[in-house]
Structure formats: structure tokens, C-alpha cells
Amino acid sequence: MTRSLSPRPAHAAEGARFVEDMGFELPAAYGPAGAELEEQRLVAAAAGLIDRSYRGVVDLSGNDVRKVFNKVFSSPVEQLEVGQGQASALLSHRGRLLGAFHLFLLENGDLRLVFFEPLREELVQAIHKYAFLSDIALRDRTAEVAILSVEGRRAREALELAAPGCDVPVAPLTVRALQLGPADGAAVGCSETPDGGFDVWIPVAEVADAWARLLAAVRAVGGGPVGHAAAEALRIEAGCARQGREYDAESFPPDAQWEHALTYDKCYVGQEVVARMKTFGQANQHLAGLILESQDALATPATVRVGEEEAGRATSAARSARLGKVIALAVLKRRFWGAPNVQVMSPEGERSARVMPLPLVRLDGPSPS
């Protein structure tokens, strides 16, 4: 059954066109066809407000919860301090990537896992297995905690306007309390766009009011609401992998550029396998960017070829307003990592593409043209 995000009437009032993805009805764009390009420009020039309440949220609580899950998750869990977060992952015993997430230590001592996609039951059960054995309580908070993202070069300014006096995070993956009207929430320094931004955690019961307050602040700095289509284009520009697209439960962390979530100086589930891969350079595929020569939309997944050989697959694609090109993420086999050009095969036909390192858009250096 397709689910709707909590403030659906607010999205509809802004002229949202809806699309189904990840089991949710999401606002694709706020306006007619082509509005997603203008929404991308708003983020690059000012700020955009994105509803990401489809994301899964899980809290773990109990005695020694950090000690217990330090032996399960891939990141240095015991080093977390209150209000801090880190990229982390749950691996299988074969070193495969069961789930990637941001892990935070809350003021009450709980660990909070925030995923980038809706919560999958099989992943909850995998985490619950370790929690149950150690008398740790697992709570699915997805239906209670909404996530709204303020993205863009003026995102900080917008957040300070919406919540005067708030302590806006400076360091990445830092959590700070946020009073947004009557709602007690939190601001988190994290982003899936080249321009950076913040996630706002807010009680679902208060999300409609929070959306209105944040949208007014975003508009005050020259921005506006941003739909799923533009958010996907910005994600691809930033080179952020998504479960179910760029990786699945058979992928290794480096396949999805999630190696930064791994530690090699402690024991945890799957550590021996990923440590051996690092030592002997055994990764067989990796994530790259593509810039297509054709301006026609690309349906994914699509086969990537070099000559007559299959080199990998294009996994996500969108038209980038910033680059003026159709761009894509692609998982390429090891032997084709050095290929400068590839052919992308889709129902629309064959088209040429340049292979580029990620991220496709950098604010600290030149981006491809």
C-alpha cells in the first residue's frame, strides 16, 4: 500500500505534482513540467525545503547499548558523545552491506539510527536479533519523527530565521536542540546536496506547522519548496548512493562509497572480510558518475557497455540544471574503472557518456562541464 507523507495537504496547496517511489506518494515537483530544474537552481542560489519523512528512524536503548553495538556496527560506536553522529553500517558475516545509516547518541543515552530510505522489515529484524540477545530495546520511531531538510547555500540563514536563537550545528553530524514554534525538535548538520544543509527532526504531530514555518523562512532568503525529482538530481550531483538503486544486500561498502563508515581497529560483524578487501584490494566494482551526451531523459536501470562488453549498470539518472546535462550514477566493474567513455543502453536507444569521478559537482574545485 502506498503511503503519504504527513503534511500532504500542505504539499498540495503549493501545487505539488505527486509521484510514487519507495512505497510513498511523494511531491515530485511544485509546479508544471520543468519546475524541478528551477527547484535545483533555488538550492544552488539560496535554499530549498525538502520533505524526507519517508526515512526510517530507529532508537536503541538499554544498559551498555554503545558497548553492545560497538561489536555489531562498523563505526566506532563507543567513541560517540552526546549530540554527535557518525556514518555507520550493519554488515552481514560475509561483509555485505545490509544497511547504511547515520548513528547518533541522544541526550537520554539512546542510539538513534537514521536511514536514507524507508525502513525495511528484514533490516529491523537483523538489528533486533543483536538487541534481543543483549536485552536492548528497539523502537521504530519512523511514524513519530518527521524529517524535513533545509538545503542550500543560505540554509543556515533560513534555519536561524525559522528558529530564532537556535544553536545551529556547525560540525557535520552534530545534533542541536531546536525550538520551532510550539515543537521541540532538533537540527542536524547533514546533507545530500553539493551545497550542504541541515535535517530537522520534528514530531509528526507538529510537522504541518513546522513545514509552514520553515517554508516561510526559506522563501525569505530567496528559496522555496523542493520536490523529489530535484532532490534526486542533487543527490546524483553529490554522488550519494541509495539502497535499492546503487547497492543492495549483496554489495560491499566500497561498492556504494560507504567505506568511510568502516573501522579496522576493532572487531564487529563482517569486519574480517572488509579488512581483507582493504589489505588486498579485492573490490570488484565501484560507483562512478556519468555525463551523457544526449539531452534525452534516461530510464534506469540501464546497461553500461564498453565496446561489446558489459561494463556495469547505470542506476539513477536526472537532468542537472547546474551542469546543463543528463547525469547518472553507475556501478562499474573493476576492469573498466579507467574507461573514459562508455555506451549506455536503454529502451530509448544507445547513447555515449563520459565517466567522471564523484562527486559530479564540487564547490571546493572545478566541476565537469
User: Residue 284: which residues within 8 A CB-CB, separation 6 or more?
Assistant: 333, 334
- At residue 366, the pLDDT reads 56
Stretch 345-359: mean pLDDT, rounded? 93
Burial of 3 per CB tally in 10 Å (0-12, 13-18, 19+): middle
Separation CA 35–CA 359 (nearest Å): 24
- At residue 21, the pLDDT reads 95
For helices 228-238 and 35-45, the axis angle rounded to 10 degrees is: 50
Q: pLDDT (tens digit, 9 = 90+) per residue, 4-36?
A: 888 899 999 999 999 999 999 999 999 999 999
Q: Residue 130 CB: number of other CB atoms within 10 A?
A: 18
Closest CA to 322 of 28, 123, 42: 42
Q: pLDDT (tens digit, 9 = 90+) per residue, 297-334?
A: 999 999 999 999 999 999 999 999 999 999 999 999 99
Decide: 209 and 181 in contact? Cβ < 8 Å.
yes
Closest CA to 145 of 230, 101, 210: 210
> Which domains, and CATH codes, for the chain?
3-55+144-236 (3.30.1360.120), 57-140 (3.30.70.1400), 286-362 (2.40.30.110)
Residue 348 has pLDDT above 70, yes or no: yes
pLDDT class of 368 with cuts at 50, 70, 90: low
